[in-house]
Amino acid sequence: MTRRAVLLFLAAFLLIGSAGQAQAAGYRYWSFWDRDGDKWVYATQGPSLARPSDGDVQGFRFAVSVNSGDAARPRGTADFASICARTPAEDGTKRVALVLDFGTASDAPSGETPPAPRTACARVSPDATTADALAAAAGSLRYDNSALLCAIAGYPKSGCGEQVSADKEPTPAEPSGRKAAEDDSDGPSVGLYAGVAIVAALAGAAIWQARRRRNAP
C-alpha cells in the first residue's frame, strides 16, 4: 500500500473517532431510580405514574447522562429502616424513603452549586404516586409542559433536560415533549456510518491501485 493510501486510511479512522466523540453528548436531567435489594435500578415509569408501596426506597440523581445505561446512580444511604426511623407507621398511610442526590459540581449548570445529598421519609396516602411523595418531602418541584421533572427543591434554578456537549457546554434543547430520562438510544451516528463508508471506499481504491501497478508493463 502506498504512503498516500496509508495517510487516507488514517484520516478516515480519525473521522470515525470524531463521530464517536460526538456521540458523547448527553442530557442534564433528574433521573429516577428504584431500590432493589442492595442496588439501584433505573425506573421504568416516571414519578407521576409510579405508585410505590409502603417500605419502598426510591432515588433521584441530577447528572449529565447519554442514556439510562450510563446514568449516574444516587449516592448515600439507601436503607428504609434508617431513612424512616423517625417516621412511625400510621393506619391509612404509607411511607416512602427518598434519596435525593443533587449531583456534582461538574454536572451543575453554569453558576450553580449543587446542594448536599439528603434523604427524606414521606408519609402519604396509600394511592399516592412517587411525585406526591417527593412533593411532600422535598417541597418545591418544577416540571416542564410535558411533565418532565426539571427541579427538586429549587435545583437547578433554570433549564430542563437540555443537551450538553462532551465539554459540558449546553446546546439548544430538543423540541418540547422529548423525555430525556427515557432516551436509551446508543446506536451509531450518521457520521460513523459515513466514516465506515469512506474506509471501505479507500480500501477498494488502494487494492485496485496496487493491482494496476503490478499488472503494468
Neighbours of 52 (CB within 10 A): 23
The answer to whether residues 118 and 108 touch, using CB atoms and an 8 Å cutoff, is no
- The pLDDT, as a whole number, for residue 202 is 45
Sort 15 into a burial class: Cβ within 10 Å, 0-12 / 13-18 / 19+.
Answer: middle
Least-confidence region, from 36-40, 170-174, 175-179, 211-215: 175-179
**C-alpha cell belonging to residue 21:** 466523540
Choice between 2 and 56, residue whose per-residue pLDDT is larger? 56
**C-alpha cell belonging to residue 151:** 427541579
Q: Are strands 94-101 and 118-124 parallel, antiparallel or unpaired?
A: antiparallel
- The pLDDT, as a whole number, for residue 70 is 87
pLDDT tens digits for range 137-195: 998 899 999 889 999 999 999 999 999 875 555 544 443 333 433 343 444 444 444 44
CB within 8 Å of 112: residues ≥ 6 apart = 155, 156, 157
| pLDDT bracket for residue 214 (50, 70, 90) | low
